[in-house]
């Protein structure tokens, strides 16, 4: 088989990434036998050199941490969505040699929520204040009509979230992580923290929880998500997000639409079950 088009995910660490599984499943379903998708361990220092070696066979790149901001100076342009949070997770390499950046995490979050029936909410809570939390804020800017409360561990993080709120023109209030149990009563809770961080909150899930969007997918379910489901609440998983943002990446990189959402989801579920 002669490969004529290439794509890959870059990051550090990147060995855990499910992106190759999802993108390859899409290529198989779309009949793109001459496409390949790989993963490369690339940190911020190595990124410029990697870009210098890209040939005309390259169609696109997926970027994970810590490259989502480091890549921006290497690009010829970025979308308004990516600019809104200073983060690029998708690079499309055009036939005329341009390198264009986008952020599919934000519309991916919106699409994942919509798939679970969440079109609009009156208020929401965010657990955490990292890069994913800023994307969550940008997603909520599209669907939340009222206040968003971000539960954070430090005043520095709180200030960052308030700045993001001003930039995205959303109403953000910050609260101390010690009061995070209050977040669980919001109509929509988005957990953006690393594995294990929300485990203690599982013991205080309300009797009638609403919707939890937990951006983790491995290990899954998290203790919070398991308890939430046990009490009858709706749960949107990190795999939902990963698949929806990857669908948008495949469409941009290949020019083929719609990307095969269900085939990609099935491949992701199978890969996670095998871990």
Catalytic residue check, 270: no
Output the CA angle 196-202-208, nearest 5 degrees. Answer: 145
- Considering only CA atoms, which of 190, 168, 48, 175 is closest in space to residue 108? 190
Q: Which residue stretches of 101-184 are H helix?
A: 105-115, 131-143, 155-168
Q: Which of 68, 227, 244, 265 is catalytic?
A: 68
b/e map of 170-194 (b: 16 or more CB within 10 Å)?
Answer: bebebeebeebeebbebebbbbbbe
Distant-in-sequence, close-in-space partners of 137: CB < 8 Å, separation ≥ 6: 85, 126, 148, 150, 161, 164, 165, 168, 170, 172
Tokens representing 219 are: 């290990």
Residues noted as catalytic: 68
């Amino acid at each position: 088989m002669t490969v004529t088009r290439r794509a890959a995910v870059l990051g550090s660490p990147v060995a855990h990434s499910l992106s190759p599984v999802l993108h390859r499943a899409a290529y198989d379903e779309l009949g793109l036998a001459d496409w390949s998708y790989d993963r490369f361990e690339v940190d911020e220092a190595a990124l410029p050199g990697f870009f210098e070696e890209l040939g005309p066979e390259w169609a696109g790149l997926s970027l994970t941490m810590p490259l989502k901001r480091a890549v921006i100076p290497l690009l010829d342009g970025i979308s308004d969505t990516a600019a809104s949070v200073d983060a690029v997770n998708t690079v499309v390499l055009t036939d005329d040699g341009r390198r264009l950046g986008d952020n599919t995490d934000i519309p991916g979050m919106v699409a994942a929520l919509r798939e679970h029936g969440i079109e609009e909410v009156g208020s929401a809570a965010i657990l955490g204040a990292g890069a994913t939390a800023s994307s969550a804020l940008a997603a909520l800017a599209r669907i939340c009509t009222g206040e968003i409360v971000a539960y954070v561990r430090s005043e520095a993080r709180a200030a960052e979230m308030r700045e993001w709120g001003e930039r995205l023109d959303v109403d953000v209030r910050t609260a101390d992580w010690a009061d995070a149990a209050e977040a669980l009563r919001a109509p929509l809770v988005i957990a953006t923290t690393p594995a294990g961080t929300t485990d203690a909150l599982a013991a205080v899930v309300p009797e009638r929880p609403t919707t939890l969007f937990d951006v983790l997918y491995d290990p899954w379910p998290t203790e919070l998500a398991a308890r939430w489901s046990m009490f009858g609440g709706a749960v949107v998983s990190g795999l939902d997000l990963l698949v929806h943002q990857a669908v948008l990446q495949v469409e941009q990189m290949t020019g083929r639409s719609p990307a095969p959402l269900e085939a990609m989801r099935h491949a992701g579920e199978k890969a996670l079950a095998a871990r």
